[in-house]
Amino acid sequence: MFDIQTQLFEGQDIRFGPIDHEKDAEIESRWTHDSEFMRLMDTGAARPLSAAMVKKQYEKLEKQIEEEKNIFHFMIRTKADDRLIGKATIQWIEWTNGNAFLRLGIGAAEDRCKGYGTQALQMLLRFAFAELNLFRVSAVVPEYNAGAIALVQKCGFVQEVCRRKSLERDGRRWDLYVYGLLNDEWRNQARG
Amino acid sequence: MKDLFRGELVRFTLEEPEMRARAEVRWQHDTEFHRLADGDPARLTSEKKIKEWFEKQAEGPQPERYSFTVRTLAENKYIGFLGMWVDLIHREAWVGLGIGEREFWSKGYGSDMMKLCQQYVFSELGMERLSLGLHEYNPRALRSYEKCGFRLEGRTRKDVLREGKHYDSLWMGILREEWLQMQNGEHK
């Protein structure tokens, strides 16, 4: 188990950091030009965003964080070369019920399947359960995102909802899953 | 007259918002530091946003809020901050402090900051008492405050839940007369 001293934002190969409004927008804009990434991250229509639009989104996000106090947002950077590779968010937090939804993305294709996502999800879960003391977390995953399904299953999430034929993509319908993990389940599995 | 802003190891300053934001971005990443200083969840805020907060704070000095930054005398290095909230009616001040640069932990810098703070509160602001709170899991702070003459006045049981464990909050205080006695003792 962890203790007070163990750093929350330092993983094995990655660390969580704040938004860098100048540098990050360029990189994130590049990710949005990859339609596959956009489809994996979001159920809405994929569309490329300019760096200026991403910057506006950052400002909106930080304003929302300050005012609504129900979002925690982290940029994922490599420890080796301090390079932005993805982002992780805890959102829609209901404080009285101790519920929240997680979102996680590794932006560039060449950074995927290297264990960064696993490390980031583990850090995010520790933050949600041991720092925010949430009772449960959920993740919404489309049927066609096999990587995300494998990842959340590996971390002990249980499929709780299957919204049948919710999404339309490439001329066919896909299911949308909601996976859930409880604080107790996470704690037991962390104990081994 | 005594130099109110100069101790044996540190001095009080007020750095510009740019400087404070740059340091804060690094310090907030250290979650052990954050957890020792604060009960709120750790956050990672952009330098841009933090600078905006400090700029707002810098708009004008408020009579009930005193906020200083701290530099070492030897290296002139900006290592932390100390803030006071003053109740002018009941003549009570609250203090909170932090040393963001870890290599300056456990070397007497915190105690030196606190002694400067006590001097400021009692001989400049004319307060009757100085109060503070800390977490049970911060024994280093407890020792430092005891060394500075604070007495443990109470505890709020199971006040903090971290890493699945409940911890108490401790409340300490020092009175003006106790501080004056300490001063006289030292000068004998």
What residue spans define the domains of chain B? 10-187
pLDDT value of residue B59: 87
Name the band, by pLDDT with cuts 50, 70 and 90, for residue B188.
Answer: very low
A interface with B, Cβ–Cβ below 8 Å:
1-9, 15-21, 58, 62, 65-66, 72-75, 127, 129-133, 187
How large a percentage of chain A has pLDDT more than 90?
96
Average pLDDT of span B80-102: 97
With contact defined as beta carbons under 8 Å apart, do A102 and A138 qualify?
yes
A166 to chain B nearest CA, in Å? 35
pLDDT value of residue B186: 67
**pLDDT at residue A4 above 70?**
yes
With contact defined as beta carbons under 8 Å apart, do A117 and A155 qualify?
no
Task: Give contacts of A54 with chain B, Cβ < 8 Å.
Answer: none
Average pLDDT of span B34-38: 95
CA distance to A113, A129, B135, B143, B176, per residue, from A14 (Å): 14, 20, 30, 35, 50
B interface with A, Cβ–Cβ below 8 Å:
25, 28-32, 35-36, 41-49, 137, 161-164
CA distance to A69, A155, B103, per residue, from A135 (Å): 17, 16, 36
**pLDDT at residue A191 above 90?**
no
- The C-alpha atoms of residue A116 and residue A107 are separated, in whole angstroms, by 11
Minimal Cβ distance to B31: which of A8, A21, A73 = A8
Of B11, B12, B136, nearest to B68 by C-alpha is B12
**pLDDT at residue B92 above 90?**
yes
Task: Give contacts of A4 with chain B, Cβ < 8 Å.
Answer: 32, 35-36, 137, 162-163
Sheet of B92-99, strand order? B10-13, B65-72, B78-87, B92-99, B129-135, B165-175, B151-162
Class of domain B10-187: alpha beta
Task: Give contacts of A75 with chain B, Cβ < 8 Å.
Answer: 44
Q: Check CB contact under 8 Å for B47 and A2.
A: no
Give the contacts of B12 (CB within 8 A, at least 6 positions apart). B4, B5, B6, B68, B69, B70, B82, B116, B120
Q: What is the pTM of this model?
A: 0.90
C-beta contacts of B84-89 below 8 A and 24+ residues apart: B84/B117, B84/B120, B84/B121, B86/B121, B86/B125, B86/B127, B88/B63, B88/B64
A166-183 residue pLDDT tens: 999 999 999 999 999 999
**pLDDT at residue A6 above 80?**
yes
B145-161 residue pLDDT tens: 999 999 999 999 999 99
Residue A140, CA atoms < 13 Å, CB-side half-sphere: 14
Q: Check CB contact under 8 Å for B25 and A18.
A: yes
With contact defined as beta carbons under 8 Å apart, do B40 and B48 qualify?
no
Mean pLDDT of chain B: 95
Minimal Cβ distance to B31: which of A7, A18, A62 = A7
pLDDT value of residue B187: 54
pLDDT value of residue B115: 97
Q: How far is CA B49 from the centre of its chain?
A: 23
Q: Check CB contact under 8 Å for B49 and A66.
A: yes
- Fold (topology level) of A14-191: Aminopeptidase (3.40.630)
Minimal Cβ distance to B42: which of A3, A8, A20 = A8
Mark B48-72 as b/e (b = at least 16 C-beta within 10 Å).
bbbbbebeebeeeeeeeebbbbbbb
Minimal Cβ distance to B163: which of A3, A17, A18 = A3
Vertex B40 angle, CA A120 and B37, to 5°: 100
B164 to chain A nearest CA, in Å? 6
Of B40, B49, B42, B45, nearest to B17 by C-alpha is B49
CA pseudo-torsion sign B49, B54, B55, B57:
positive
Average pLDDT of span B62-83: 96
Task: Give contacts of A72 with chain B, Cβ < 8 Å.
Answer: 41, 43
Interface test with A, best of B22, B27, B28, B29 (most A CBs within 10 A): B29
SS (H, E, C) chain A: CCCCCCCCCECCCEEEECCCCCHHHHHHHHHHCCHHHHHHHCCCCCCCCCHHHHHHHHHHHHHHHHHHCCCEEEEEEECCCCCEEEEEEEEEEECCCCEEEEEEEECCHHHCCCCHHHHHHHHHHHHHHHHCCCCEEEEEEECCCHHHHHHHHHCCCEEEEEEEEEEEECCEEEEEEEEEEEHHHHHHHHHC
A39-98 residue pLDDT tens: 999 999 999 999 999 999 999 999 999 999 999 999 999 999 999 999 999 999 999 999
Query: Mind giving me the DSSP string for B7-23?
Result: -SSEEEE---HHHHHHH
Q: Check CB contact under 8 Å for B164 and A62.
A: no
Task: Give contacts of B31 with chain A, Cβ < 8 Å.
Answer: 7-9, 131
Parallel, antiparallel, or unpaired: how do β-strands B165-175 and A172-182 relate? unpaired
Average pLDDT of span A124-130: 97
Name the band, by pLDDT with cuts 50, 70 and 90, for residue B39.
Answer: very high
Crossing angle of helices A51-68/B47-57, nearest 10°?
50
Interface test with B, best of A4, A69, A73, A186 (most B CBs within 10 A): A4
Neighbour tally for A189: CB within 10 Å:
12
Size of interface A-B (CB pairs under 8 A): 63
Name the residue of chain B whose CA is nearest to A3's CA.
B163
